[in-house]
Structure 1
Amino acid sequence: MSDKKCSGPLLIQGKLVDAERMKADSCYLRGSITEDLNNGLTGGFNGDNFFLIRFHGMYQQDDRDLRAERAEQKLDAKHAMMLRCRLPGGVITPEQWLAIDRFAEKNTLYGSIRLTNRQTFQFHGILKNNLKLAHKILSNIGLDSLGTANDVNRNVLCSSNPMESGLHQEVYEYAKKISEHLLPRTRAYAEIWLDQKRAATTDSEPILGKTYLPRKFKTTFVVPPHNEVDLHANDMNFIAIAEKGVLAGFNLLVGGGLSIDHSDKTTYPRTASDFGYFSKNNTLKVAEAVVSTQRDWGNRTNRKNAKTRYTLERVGLHVFKSEVERRSGVTFQPMRHYDLTTRGDRFGWVYGADCKWNLTLFIENGRILDYPDRPLKTGVAEIAKIHKGFFRLTANQNLMVSGVADTVKEKIETVARLYGLMGNTSHQRENSMACVSFPTCPLAMAEAERILPKFVTHVENIMRKYGVGDEYIVLRITGCPNGCARALLAEIGLIGRSPGRYNMYLGGNRIGTRIPRIYQKNISIEDALKILDQLIYQWSNSRTIDEGFGDFTIRTGLIKPILDPAQDFWK
């Protein structure tokens, strides 16, 4: 394939958004980033570079708690960078972990490591003069941050499934292959951050194109029956189909996504559509065909409607699928049967098919930091010093110590308990999640991470009061409607719209295959808890056996199911 785009009626006609101009003028993502790095007069990046650094895995942020105060003092915002690592499948070695632990401690403003629901980690608060050091440290340990943000294929998710580790390992290998295959080919990252000389070859992007994708693109690999990656939140999803315990091929689902705009009713969430089954040997060809079709047909005149789900709705499922078949040379077979039964992590010890143990540790909000009563960061580092297997970061912001031999199992558990990494955590807390939000996210409209722990405590108390304290409700809080904590696949989703105010969504299900509908608009946290007190009381009294909260709200008519999000999400 070449950089040349196709033309015709399937393309949106009109003025391109400025992001397209920035990509076209960037000299394959170089821009003038190097000049900005050498500019000591500001702690941030200027003009197009503010946008371009995202392709290199960074976002420019500032401490919003200090923004107003600094403005009053006529000072610039206190700029610092968030850097997100590329870590397909979330697998990292103990040696790599210790290196990022040391960097976070010495070279970030907050000293923490943030596990994300994109199955990787983020550094928050890197000053501009430490950025090259960050990238070089990652490179020295075999990691990078290329393509973890902006209009490319993001970090590839993969089920963390120690109960079927043989199958999981093969699926994980495909996740790594896809991650590498869909990376930008430009040498800009190596030149800017690793000081490599520019090669005297002509730049080209045979898969992504000179102006890359119209918007971000997300990919997952799922090993049924567990849906811990929330496949319906993603553009392209490969569901592993095994025969006699061995991977045979994948079902492909395309066009999922959750981000919306409170003021724009042309935006809506969407679950991914079935395309069909294909042999595992065709995985790279199929993936490339899906990405290139979205590259050529996606909307470049309106970024709010540029994601794959909108392309699919505009051109039609059959037309998009037929084009993928044409480009890949693969004809999809009917979908193979699969079941999804859970999407949460399985905490504690699980014995794997490789005759080794796997310990999943609950990390609230994914924030690994030494708290006064729980020195989590030190605890993980101490485990890393004695562990000879891997760490697996989960898509629910938790940490798995994977491949533990019998000889060190007791020692690792002792360390985990000593440092507060293991304890009595409710099922409700384990199934609650929030995005970063304030103070560092520039898009935040309301609190999320900082209010989640106390909010969950209140929900726990309500559930105990009504005799369902051992149950759980999938609960998500996001500071804005961009979907980072996947609230629009939750049984209860709170989405921030202004400081202290949220829209409440109800009606998702436990396995993550149904989009919730708005139940109350513009409410406070206190209002939300009053509403939940009433609803949880009704659920506890009137539910059927093992009926989840979301299913209860649908069955009893408290909320109407969304059958066609493009038509009735906003009704």
Structure 2
Amino acid sequence: MSEQVERSKNEIIKENSRQLRGSILTDLQSESPEFSEDSQQLLKFHGMYQQDDRDVRKAKNSDGTPKGKTHIVMIRARIPGGNMTAEQFLGILDLSEQYGNGAMRLTTRQGIQLHYIPKGNTKEVVKGINDTMLTTLAACGDVNRNVMACPAPFKDQPHAAIQKLAYEMAEHFRPKTTAYHELWLTDGEGNNHNATEEFVPVEEPIYGTHYLPRKFKMAIALPDDNCIDVYANDLGLIADVQEGQIVGYNMLVGGGMGRTPAAEKTFPAVGKKLCYVTPEQVIPVAEAVVKVQRDFGNRSDRKVARLKYLIHNWGLDAFRAKVEEYYGQPLTPPNSVDVKGVEDHVGWFEQGDGKLFVGINIECGRVRDTSEVQVKTGLRAIIEKYRMPVRATALQGLILCDIDPADRADITAMLKQYGLKSAEELTILRRFAIACPALPTCGLSLTESERVLPGVIDQLDIEMARLGLQSEKISVHMTGCNNGCARPYTPDIGFVGRSLGKYTMFVGGNPEGSRLAFMYEDYVPLEKLVPTLVPLLTGYKADRMPGEGFGDYCVRLGIEGLKELATQVAV
């Protein structure tokens, strides 16, 4: 490990945790509604965050005294490539109804989150998820997290290969500690045994005793469909497809979305091309990259601990040389293969084996029933009836797979019955819009995201229709804070929570997620987001070049050109 002047508190917690045990068991046995501060850090490795319902923080007891925080836990399932059986999806849905608030959330990284879990039910939920043959281990924490891959179930070699690779990488980079099994999957006797200070450590060949300095994310994309935003990951793979077969991958390193506006040393970044690898080299070279980050990433300041900062400080050439040293041989330079398209997989498609799949847009990923649409009830009814496998998308949607063409009419009717709209009933703008959970559950959120984005899209849809831009693929991502969980720094338009009710507006990215957007306006009130965009959209309508996307147009004009445009176009 590289020498640091002073290690952060999290590093001490990890080192003294007895391979991620800490005092979690003691906390589980306590009647307190919350976990200790140290346990809260270690719980992330086990796939959960302690939170509180911020909507009720100011609530009063009957005597007028503040109720204080209502402690709850968010538990996240790690699902490589978003691939689930019907039983797994329904099993997690059952857990949300039995122990949570009756809803579950499809994440922007193809996982599933359950919110509002009481501390006393965390073990039942984790065990329940594992009973479905999924896991929460490494869904969060300073390790490699869920490995993403295009979820489209086309029956061709490239799609099948990247799904298989996502699972293999997730398993290879899974922490080897036995703490997870002992804490969550054994009976009381086993837990009592592990409450002692004595334990037998197991070898962690990738993570060592300190794990990684910060979280690590991986994703695999096909060049014509970057539906998982490969450039936003610490390590990304772009498949090289020749004559219908994957022959290798360009490996990207150093992507990451988080930033802190008050700290200029922080910034979002898109990945850089490191090398070209054969399918057999993927995991060994990826392991070398992870180990370099493990040994040289910043362990004193978590704000600059992601891989992107190490590469920024060293330079890509020096980083490549160190990876070659760890790998044991020279790396092949990357080739010209790159992403050039993106799909949302919403609608009906032929799989290539005589069966069909249908992609369903689920607004902001929230699987719940409202007066307008019964997402939860509808999905449950269809999946229980047909028992088809399902896949989560990075745009927070769900794909129902392996459908017999004879069942298409019935499934279409059931989707309509429960208010789940078809691809033709949705604007492209809405189909490519995503948001993080933000308020009321995220402790980091500065303002709303999931709960307000649908209304923003409603307003934007009106303006897009007025301008005749409904057919344009324009991506909108919103987050409640600058950590960027919904990847707001790479789409055409990004809204990032800045302070209560106000956002930083970014423009100039693209739906393919291959470049960073730039800040256009800061501290924009929620009600001014759409009016602030209208002059830009108006100018785009009038002056765009053939085939030019909205983000491309913003880049061509630049910040000064856009500001001048805004003064000339009346809203």
Using the size of structure 2 for normalisation, the TM-score is: 0.93
Contact 2:157 2:246 in 1 (8 A): no
- SS at 2:332 equivalent: coil
Given the superposition, is the C-alpha separation of residues 480 and 560 from structure 1 closer, same or farther in structure 2, using an over 3 Å criterion? farther
Match for residue 42 of structure 2? 52
State the one-letter code of the partner of 2:80: P
- How far apart are the structure 1 equivalents of 2:60 and 2:391? 40
Match for residue 500 of structure 1? 501
Q: CA deviation at 1:490?
A: 1.4
Map 1:26-41; keep pairs closer than 5 Å.
26-40=17-31
Contact 1:161 1:223 in 2 (8 A): no
- How far apart are the structure 1 equivalents of 2:140 and 2:239? 26
Given the superposition, is the C-alpha separation of residues 74 and 373 from structure 1 closer, same or farther in structure 2, using an over 3 Å criterion? closer
- SS at 2:239 equivalent: strand
Which is further off, 523-532 or 16-25? 523-532
Given the superposition, is the C-alpha separation of residues 540 and 352 from structure 1 closer, same or farther in structure 2, using an over 3 Å criterion? same
2:349 is equivalent to residue 350 of structure 1: yes
- How far apart are the structure 1 equivalents of 2:185 and 2:499? 41
Give the alignment partner of residue 173 of structure 2, picking from 179, 182, 189. 182
Which is further off, 496-505 or 552-561? 552-561
Given the superposition, is the C-alpha separation of residues 320 and 351 from structure 1 closer, same or farther in structure 2, using an over 3 Å criterion? same
- How far apart are the structure 2 equivalents of 1:559 and 1:184? 48
Contact 1:391 1:400 in 2 (8 A): yes
Which is further off, 206-215 or 334-343? 334-343
Match for residue 564 of structure 1? none
- SS at 2:145 equivalent: coil
State the one-letter code of the partner of 1:228: C
Deviation per residue, 1:121-172 (Å, 9 max, x gap): 1001111111111111111110110001110101110012344643211111
Match for residue 249 of structure 1? 248
Match for residue 18 of structure 1? 9
- How far apart are the structure 1 equivalents of 2:148 and 2:179? 25
2:371 is equivalent to residue 380 of structure 1: no
- How far apart are the structure 2 equivalents of 1:164 and 1:511? 23
2:126 is equivalent to residue 142 of structure 1: no
Map 1:358-397; keep pairs closer than 5 Å.
358-397=357-396
Contact 1:344 1:396 in 2 (8 A): no
Which is further off, 74-83 or 146-155? 74-83
How many equivalent pairs are there? Answer: 550
Using the size of structure 1 for normalisation, the TM-score is: 0.93
- How far apart are the structure 1 equivalents of 2:268 and 2:285? 24
Query: Matched residues, percent identical?
Result: 36
Match for residue 443 of structure 1? 444
2:220 is equivalent to residue 211 of structure 1: no
Match for residue 464 of structure 2? 463
Q: CA deviation at 1:548?
A: 1.1
Match for residue 70 of structure 2? 78
Ranges in structure 2 where 5+ consecutive residues have no aligned partner: 563-571
- How far apart are the structure 2 equivalents of 1:187 and 1:520? 49
Match for residue 568 of structure 2? none
Deviation per residue, 1:426-452 (Å, 9 max, x gap): 111111111100000000001100100
Given the superposition, is the C-alpha separation of residues 259 and 118 from structure 1 closer, same or farther in structure 2, using an over 3 Å criterion? same
- How far apart are the structure 1 equivalents of 2:453 and 2:333? 42
Map 1:523-562; keep pairs closer than 5 Å.
523-558=524-559
Match for residue 566 of structure 2? none
- How far apart are the structure 2 equivalents of 1:91 and 1:304? 32
2:191 is equivalent to residue 192 of structure 1: no
Deviation per residue, 1:296-339 (Å, 9 max, x gap): 01000110000000011112211211222222235322323324
Match for residue 291 of structure 2? 292
Q: CA deviation at 1:267?
A: 0.2
- SS at 2:105 equivalent: strand
Given the superposition, is the C-alpha separation of residues 467 and 243 from structure 1 closer, same or farther in structure 2, using an over 3 Å criterion? closer
Match for residue 482 of structure 1? 483
2:257 is equivalent to residue 258 of structure 1: yes
Match for residue 565 of structure 2? none
- SS at 2:146 equivalent: coil
State the one-letter code of the partner of 1:182: F
State the one-letter code of the partner of 1:236: L
- How far apart are the structure 1 equivalents of 2:543 and 2:527? 25
Match for residue 452 of structure 1? 453
Match for residue 310 of structure 1? 309
State the one-letter code of the partner of 1:98: L
- How far apart are the structure 2 equivalents of 1:260 and 1:449? 20
Q: CA deviation at 1:354?
A: 2.7
Contact 2:59 2:68 in 1 (8 A): no
- How far apart are the structure 2 equivalents of 1:134 and 1:88? 19
Contact 1:162 1:350 in 2 (8 A): no
Match for residue 158 of structure 1? 149
Match for residue 67 of structure 1? 57
Given the superposition, is the C-alpha separation of residues 266 and 454 from structure 1 closer, same or farther in structure 2, using an over 3 Å criterion? same
Match for residue 567 of structure 1? none
Contact 2:220 2:237 in 1 (8 A): yes
Contact 1:61 1:82 in 2 (8 A): yes
Deviation per residue, 1:205-236 (Å, 9 max, x gap): 11011110000000001122111111111100
Q: CA deviation at 1:560?
A: 8.4
- How far apart are the structure 2 equivalents of 1:440 and 1:31? 25
- How far apart are the structure 1 equivalents of 2:40 and 2:332? 44
- How far apart are the structure 2 equivalents of 1:470 and 1:369? 29
- SS at 1:458 equivalent: helix
- How far apart are the structure 2 equivalents of 1:213 and 1:558? 38
